[in-house]
Structure 1
C-alpha cells in the first residue's frame, strides 16, 4: 500500500504538471486568438466540433478504460482495441463527410461544409492512436502522459497562432485542432512502441466492461453539448462564440485542479475496491482534498472574471463575464463530487453511472430549453446553474451505495471548503463593486492581483481557523501538510 501511495503521489504530480502546462498554453492561445478573431469565428468552429463530439460519443466504446480495468491484457487485446477504434473512426469520418452539406443547410452557413470535412479527417486520425499507451496509467506511470499532453497542446497552439496572425481566419482554429491530433497520434507510438494488426478476437470481452460506460458517454456528451447546438441554432454564431469561450475559461480552474486525481485514482481505487472500508476512507480523503483546492479556484475565477476579460480579450468579449461568473461557481461546486466516476468505475458498477447521467439528462435538457425561451443566452447560463446544482443529490446517493458513507459523512469532508469559500467571496465582492470600470491593462492587472491576494488570504485564514476550531481532524488540511512534506523530500532527492 505504501508503494502504491508513493507511485500515486508521483503520478499525480506529473499529471498535475501536465494539466497546468496544457491549460496555461490553452488559455494563452484562447486569449491571443480572441484578440485576432471575432466571436462568430469561435462559434462557427464550435458548431463543427460539437457535432463531431456528439457523433464520436454516440459510437464510443470506452476501450481504454476496459484495458486499464483488465487484470492481465495480452497483445491480442491491444490489437483488438486498435482495430475496433480505427473501424469506428473510419465510419464516423465517412458519416460526417456525408452529412456536411445537410448540416450546413440546417445551421444556415455554407462554411460549415468545409469545416466538417476537415474535422472528419481529424476523427479518422484519432482512430490510429496507440492503445498500449493507456497502460502507463494502469501502472501509475505518468511522465509519458505529461510529454504527450504538453507536446500535443503546444503543436496546436503554435499552428493556430501562426495561422491567425497570417490570415485572421477561423481556419486557424480548425487546422490547429487537426495538427494537435496528428501530433498526439505520432507521439503515442513514440512513448510506447506498438505495431498494430487487424484482430477482433477479444471484442466481446472488452465490450462486457465498456458497454455501460459507452451508454454513459453517449448521454453525458449529448447532455453537455446540446446547449451549444441550441445556442448556435437559435441565437447565432456570435452568441455561441461568447458561450463557448466563457464556458472554457470558467471550467478550466476547477476541472484541472481535480483532473489529475480523477485519472490517477481510478487505478488506485481499483486496487482496494474489494475492501469497502478502505475504499471509503480513500475516497473521503481524496474528495476532501479535491474540493479544498478546486472549490476556491472556481469561486475565485468568478470573482476576477470582469477584470480578467477586460485585460485579456477586450471590450468585444464583455458578454462572457456573466457566463464565467455563474459557470465557474457551478463547476467549483461540482468539484466536490468530481471523484465519483473513478470510484464507481473501480468497483465495476458502471450501470450506476449510466443511471446518474440519464437522470441528469432528463433534468437538464428541459431546463435549457426553458432558459433559452425566456432568457436568451443568460437564461441558458442560469439553467445550467440550476441543473448543475441538482446533480448534488444524485452524486451523494451513488457514493452511499458504493461506499456506505452517509450524507452527513460526505458533507463533513467539504464543510470547511464551502464555508471558507463563502468567507472569501464576502471579503472580495465589496472590493469588486467599488472598483471603477477600466480597459487600461495596468488597472486590470493590479485589480486582479489585489483580488487574488485578498481572496486567497481570506480563504486560507478561514480554513485554518475552522480546522483548529474542529480540533484538527483528518482531512484536506492534514493531507496538504503531508503533501508539502513529500514535495520537499522529493525535491531534496532530485538530482541537481
Structure 2
C-alpha cells in the first residue's frame, strides 16, 4: 500500500463488514479455524516440551526462565498496547496505522539496545554469568516483535483468524524444528534461544505476507498520538499481568538458582500452555467481536456468556484431572527426574481454575473502552497476588504456587468481577447464573476424582487418558443437574456445530 492511501480508511481494508449476525458468523468461522490451529499448536508444543525435557537439564530451562521475565516485560513495552488500540478503535486510517507501526519499531529498537546494556546487570543479579550472552541474544526477539505487531493487529481487526492461525502454526513448526535439532546436536540452553528467535523470524515474514499492508514513509503523525493513551493504559494492565506471571520466576531464580527454577518452570509450562491452546479460539475472537457489538447490548451479552461458558465447560474437567493426578502426569510425561515438580503442578492447577476468569473480565473492560477501570482494579488485585508471592517464597517454589492459587482465587478474581459488572451489558446476576452450576459441577466431579485417585490404574499413559474421560463424564453429568447448566451445554453444542459448519 502506497503513501497515497491517506486519511479515511476503506472499511473493507481495515475492518470486517456486516451486521451482528454476519459478525457472529465470521467469529464462529474464525474460532473454528483458530481451534484447528490451536490443535496443531498443542500437539507441536506438547511434543516439543516432552522431547526437550528428555534432552535438556532442569538448569537449561531455568536459565531461560531467568531471562524470560525481562524479555517479556520488554515485549509488552515494545507493543505499548498499540495493537489493542488498532483492534478496538471503530475506524482507523492509513496514517494512524503507519504512525503506530513506526512507533512500535522505534520503541523496539530502544528496548533491544537497553536489553543488551542491562545483560551484565541481570547476570550479576542472578549470580549466573551465562545469563549475559543469552539476554543479549534475545534482544533480537524484541526487534522481530516490533516489526510484526501492527501487521498481526490488522489481521485481528479484520477478523482474518484463519491467516493468524496459519502464521502461528507455521512459525511454531519452524521454531520446534530448529530447537529440537539444536538440542539433539548438544547445544543445551542455546537450543531454546534458537527456537524462540526462529519462531519470531517466521512470524514476521508470514505476518507481512498475509496482511498485505505496508507502512508509509517513516514518521509519527500527531493525530495518531491520541491512540497512545488508550494503548498505554492497556499496557499498564498487561504489565500487572506480567508481574503476576513472571515475578514468581524472578524470586525463585534469585533465591534458589537455575535448578529449582527449571523444576518450577516445567510445571508452569505443562499446566498453562495446553490451557492457553484450549482457550485461544474464544480469546482471539472475543475483543474484536464484542467491540463490533458494543451498540447491541442483547447480542453482546449473549455472545459473551456463550463464549465464557463454553471455555469453562471445556477446560475445567481437564484442569481437575491434572490437579488430582499431578504426580502420574509429571512422571509419565516428563520422566521420574521431574517428580519434584508434581506438587507445584497441582497447586498451579488450582490457580488455573480461576485464572481464565481474569482474562474473561479483561474482554469486557477492553471491548467497552474501560481500560482505565481495568488498570485500577487489576492493579489492586495484582498487589495482593504479589504480596502473596513475597510471603510464599519462604516455603520455596511450592509456597509460591500455593500463594498464587489462594490470592488469585479469593481476592483478585472476585475484585475484578465485582468491578466489571457494575456497569455494561453483562450484570452480576448474569455472571452468577452462569457460574453457579459450574462451581457445583467442579466441586462434585473433583470430589469423586479424589476418591478414585488411590487406584494404581492411573500410573500409565492409558490410565491418564481414562482419567480425563472420567473427569469430563462426571463434570457433564453434574452440570446437567441444573436447567441453566443444560442450557449452557446446549449453547456449547450449538457453538461446536457452528464451528463444524464454518
Q: State the TM-score, normalized to the length of structure 1.
A: 0.91
* Cα contact 1:296–1:417 (8 A) shared by 2: no
Aligned equivalents of 2:457, 2:474: Cα separation in 1:
23
Residue 22 and residue 402 in structure 1: after superposition, are their counterparts in 2 closer, same or farther (change >3 A)?
farther
Question: What is the count of residue pairs matched by the alignment?
Answer: 480
| Equivalent position of 1:236 in the other structure | 257
Aligned equivalents of 2:472, 2:239: Cα separation in 1:
38
| Equivalent position of 1:493 in the other structure | none
After the TM superposition, which residues 431-442 of structure 1 pair with which residues of structure 2 at under 5 Å, given as runs?
431-435=452-456
After the TM superposition, which residues 17-416 of structure 1 pair with which residues of structure 2 at under 5 Å, given as runs?
17-58=36-77, 60-129=79-148, 131-196=150-215, 197-201=217-221, 202-373=223-394, 375-389=395-409, 390-403=411-424, 405-416=426-437
**What SS does structure 1 have at the residue aligned with 2:422?**
helix
Please report how far the alpha carbon of residue 336 of structure 1 lies from its aligned counterpart in structure 2 after TM superposition: 3.8
Residue 211 and residue 337 in structure 1: after superposition, are their counterparts in 2 closer, same or farther (change >3 A)?
closer
**What SS does structure 1 have at the residue aligned with 2:460?**
helix
| Equivalent position of 2:31 in the other structure | 12
**What SS does structure 2 have at the residue aligned with 1:403?**
coil
* Cα contact 1:266–1:346 (8 A) shared by 2: yes
Extract unaligned runs of 5+ from structure 1: 438-442, 491-496
Aligned equivalents of 1:175, 1:275: Cα separation in 2:
47
Please report how far the alpha carbon of residue 446 of structure 1 lies from its aligned counterpart in structure 2 after TM superposition: 2.4
Aligned equivalents of 1:475, 1:351: Cα separation in 2:
34
Q: Provide Cα deviations, 1:302-358, integer angstroms capped at 9, x if missing partner.
A: 233322211221111111111221112321233245322122111111011101221
Aligned equivalents of 2:200, 2:496: Cα separation in 1:
36
**What SS does structure 1 have at the residue aligned with 2:90?**
coil
Residue 403 and residue 281 in structure 1: after superposition, are their counterparts in 2 closer, same or farther (change >3 A)?
farther
Question: Aligned match of 1:460 in 476, 486, 502?
Answer: 476
* Cα contact 2:422–2:428 (8 A) shared by 1: no
Q: Provide Cα deviations, 1:430-484, integer angstroms capped at 9, x if missing partner.
A: 33223289xxxxx5112212212222221222222x14xx3x6774212123124
* Cα contact 2:393–2:399 (8 A) shared by 1: yes
Aligned equivalents of 1:195, 1:158: Cα separation in 2:
30
* Cα contact 1:213–1:350 (8 A) shared by 2: yes
Moved more, 46-55 or 25-34: 46-55
| Equivalent position of 2:467 in the other structure | 451
* Cα contact 1:253–1:298 (8 A) shared by 2: no
Please report how far the alpha carbon of residue 229 of structure 1 lies from its aligned counterpart in structure 2 after TM superposition: 0.5
Aligned equivalents of 2:187, 2:337: Cα separation in 1:
16
* Cα contact 1:133–1:188 (8 A) shared by 2: yes
Residue 59 and residue 476 in structure 1: after superposition, are their counterparts in 2 closer, same or farther (change >3 A)?
same
Q: State the TM-score, normalized to the length of structure 2.
A: 0.90
Moved more, 273-282 or 305-314: 273-282
* Cα contact 2:437–2:485 (8 A) shared by 1: no
| Equivalent position of 1:421 in the other structure | 442
**What SS does structure 2 have at the residue aligned with 1:71?**
coil
Please report how far the alpha carbon of residue 43 of structure 1 lies from its aligned counterpart in structure 2 after TM superposition: 0.4
**What SS does structure 1 have at the residue aligned with 2:148?**
coil
* Cα contact 2:78–2:104 (8 A) shared by 1: no
Aligned equivalents of 2:332, 2:485: Cα separation in 1:
41
Extract unaligned runs of 5+ from structure 2: 1-19
| Equivalent position of 1:485 in the other structure | 497
- CA-based RMSD of the aligned residues comes to 2.0
Aligned equivalents of 2:126, 2:358: Cα separation in 1:
36
